[in-house]
Amino acid sequence: MCTVCGCGQGTVDGQKPHSHDHHTHDHSHDHHHGHSHDHPHSHEHEKSPEADAQGDIHFGKGIGGVHIPGIEQSRIVQIEQDILGKNDMYAKGNRQILADKGIFALNLVSSPGSGKTTLLTRTIDDNKDRQAMSVIEGDQQTSNDADRIRETGVKATQVNTGKGCHLDAHMVGHALKQLEPEDGSVLFIENVGNLVCPAAFDLGEAHKVAILSVTEGEDKPIKYPDMFHAADIMILNKTDLLPYLNFDVEKCIDYARQVKSDIRIIQLSATSGEGLEEWYEWIAQGLEKAKQGAA
C-alpha cells in the first residue's frame, strides 16, 4: 500500500492503473546512514519543513520524498531501545533488592536431565548448618521440583512458565516477593531446563551457573555457545560415571574456554560427592561478599 495516499497497487481489469506520480520513493530509506541517534524524540518530517544552511526550505524531505497538502506522510520515530530493556529494568530492580539484603543469587541453567535438582537438594542438605538458603524453581509445568526442594526443609517457590521456555526477571521479581528469602542467604534460581533461551534473560542474579553432565555431549559448550558465554561457572556433573563413558573431559573444558576464556570449571558428582567441597567453598565465598556488600 502506498504510504502517502493509501491507494493500493492493484489494478482493475480493463482499466489502466492510475498514475502514481508521488511514488518517487522506492522504499530504500536512506536515513540509515550510520549516524548515532542518542536523542529519543521523533523526527516529524511531515510537519515542519527542513531549512538548510542557506535557509531554503525543503518540503520533500519526508519519507515519501514529496509533499502533498492535506495528506500526512508517515514519519520516522527513533526508538533506540534494547528489545530486552524491560526485562533488564526488572533485573536491575531484583539485583538491587538482593544486594540490599546481602543475598547471593545464582541462576542455574542446563539441559533437562543434567542433574540440577539433585545437585541442589544435595547442596542444601550438606550446607543447612552453614548458611540460610532458598530456591525459586522454574518449570513449564508441575511443582514436582519445588516439592523435592521443600522436602529438604528450605523455602521454595515454584514458578510455572506455561509455554515459556525460560524465566524472566519479572517472574523472578514476583517470586522474590512470595518467597521472602532471608537476609544474608543464598538464593538458587533453577531455570527451565533449556540451554538456549535463558541465556539472554538477566534475572538479577550474581552469576549464571551452567550445569553439564558427562552423559551429554562434550561439545555442548560450542553447540550452545550463548549459554556458556553467559555463564561465569560451569559445573561438570555426574563425574562418577566417567569410567563408563567416552566423555573427553579435557576436550569439553577446551570447548568451554573457547566460548569463554575465563569460565570457572568445577567437576563434581552430586551422587558420589566428589568435588562438592570446591562448589560449596565457591558459594560460601560469594555469600560472604554479598553480605559484606550489604553491610
Partner 1 sequence: MHEMSLCEGIVQVIEDQAKEQNYKSVVKVWLEIGALAGVEIEALRFGFDVVTKGSVAEDAELEIIKVEGTGWCMPCEKSVFVAERFDACPDCGSYQIQITSGDEMRIKELEVK
Site for partner 1, rule CB under 8 A: 3, 29, 31-32, 37, 42, 63, 72, 74-87, 164-166, 168, 196-201, 221-222, 225-226, 229, 255, 257-259, 261
Minimum Å gap between C-beta 50 and partner 1 is 17
CA distance 149 to 125: 10
**How many angstroms from the chain centroid is the CA of residue 274?**
32
Element (H, E) at 93: helix 85-100
Minimum Å gap between C-beta 162 and partner 1 is 12
Query: Which of 28, 54 has the CB closer to partner 1?
Result: 28
Query: Which of 86, 128 has the CB closer to partner 1?
Result: 86
Minimum Å gap between C-beta 216 and partner 1 is 17
Element (H, E) at 277: helix 276-294
Query: Which of 205, 239 has the CB closer to partner 1?
Result: 205
Residue whose C-alpha cell is 550452545: 224
Cβ partners under 8 Å of residue 168, min gap 6 = 87, 90, 201, 203
Which cell goes with 67? 509533499
DSSP letter (8 states) at residue 40? -
DSSP letter (8 states) at residue 92? H
CA distance 203 to 193: 15
Query: Which of 70, 243 has the CB closer to partner 1?
Result: 70
Minimum Å gap between C-beta 20 and partner 1 is 17
CA distance 194 to 276: 24
Minimum Å gap between C-beta 173 and partner 1 is 16
Query: Which of 20, 223 has the CB closer to partner 1?
Result: 223
Query: Which of 82, 147 has the CB closer to partner 1?
Result: 82
Minimum Å gap between C-beta 3 and partner 1 is 6
Cβ partners under 8 Å of residue 271, min gap 6 = 118, 238, 240
Query: Which of 18, 32 has the CB closer to partner 1?
Result: 32
Nearest to 156 by CA among 184, 175, 131, 170: 175
Minimum Å gap between C-beta 60 and partner 1 is 17
**How many angstroms from the chain centroid is the CA of residue 60?**
43
